[in-house]
Amino acid sequence: MAIVCKSANEIEKMRRSGHIVRQLLDHLKAMVAPGVTTMDLERAAEAKIKELGAKPAFKGYYDYPCVLCTSVNEEIVHGIPSEKRVLNEGDIVSIDCGVVLDGYYGDAAITVPVGNGLKPEIKKLLDVTEASLYRGIEQARIGNSVGDVGAAVQQHVEAAGFSVVREFVGHGIGTRLHEEPQVPNYGARGHGARLREGMVLAIEPMVNFGKPETRVLGDKWTAVTADGSFSAHFEHCVAVTKDGPVILTQ
């Protein structure tokens, strides 16, 4: 499959699904507190997606069971919401949410501290990961390459002493959740697919406090850091336009 470029009209539709994802994440972020379970977030998300007239993108995708991915502490991505997973003071939780509206997908993620007991070095992990996303977005320009995006993310993360995950990557997005190209959070400037007008990329740095290695738990979904260190994840969908990068999930 080739990379699909979107018309201005299609990008407008993706802005609408992106806006729904942002409303959901804002709503869920406000719910995060000690004692809340990740299943509480899942239920709230399912109700809100319905209320906003969209459909969940993740549930049933490769048999994934939920509308959210909720990844706590050393979990990197694809954590499955559970009644048993109670959030505690000092935890961090990545909330990743996708929807489809009128045939077009939106996908975004944030990582949120639970309560006020966040360690300063973990606060730095969150700040650096989010800033690395914006470094990547800044490179999403006509004539640049996918490698420019990855290199910008990687450089920012590694300069702060953290590491980028290799086994999971960002992606093109449009009438499917995952389209070409893959968008790694590492790379070399000038390498990889050229960016053209109308491409839409889901850029999603996954950053480990310690080493970059990962493993997947027995549930076949939850990716965790091999060394048990905390991991953060932020994601936006970004259109490559004549006017530069346009964030669709805000």
Residue ranges binding Co ion (CB under 5 A) = 107, 202
Surface-to-core class of residue 14, CB atoms within 10 Å of its CB (0-12 exposed, 13-18 middle, 19+ buried): buried
Residue nearest to ligand MF3 (CB): 58
Query: 152: part of which helix (H) or strand (E)?
Result: helix 146-159
Taking the CA atoms of residue 36, residue 40, residue 42 and residue 43 in that order, the dihedral angle to the nearest 10 degrees is -160
Applying CB under 6 A, which of residues 2, 62, 120, 243 lies at the interface with ligand MF3? 62
What's the longest Cα–Cα distance across the chain?
48
Residues for the chain: how many in total? 250
Which range in 56-64, 132-140, 188-196, 240-248 contacts ligand MF3 by CB under 6 A? Answer: 56-64
Site string for ligand MF3, 109-148 (x = CB under 6 A): ----------------------------------------
Considering only residues 63-92, where is the footprint of ligand MF3 by CB under 6 A?
A: 64, 69, 78
Q: Whole-number minimum distance, CB 33 to Co ion, in Å? A: 26
Which range in 59-67, 147-155, 212-220, 238-246 contacts ligand MF3 by CB under 6 A? Answer: 59-67
How far apart (Å, rounded) are the C-alpha atoms in residues 166 and 157?
Answer: 13
Q: Alpha carbon 60 to chain centroid distance?
A: 18
How far apart (Å, rounded) are the C-alpha atoms in residues 70 and 55?
Answer: 18
Beta carbon nearer to ligand MF3, 118 or 172: 172
Applying CB under 6 A, which of residues 58, 162, 186, 234 lies at the interface with ligand MF3? 58
Is 98 a residue that touches ligand MF3 (CB under 6 A)?
Answer: yes
The answer to whether 222 and 186 are in contact (CB under 8 A) is: no
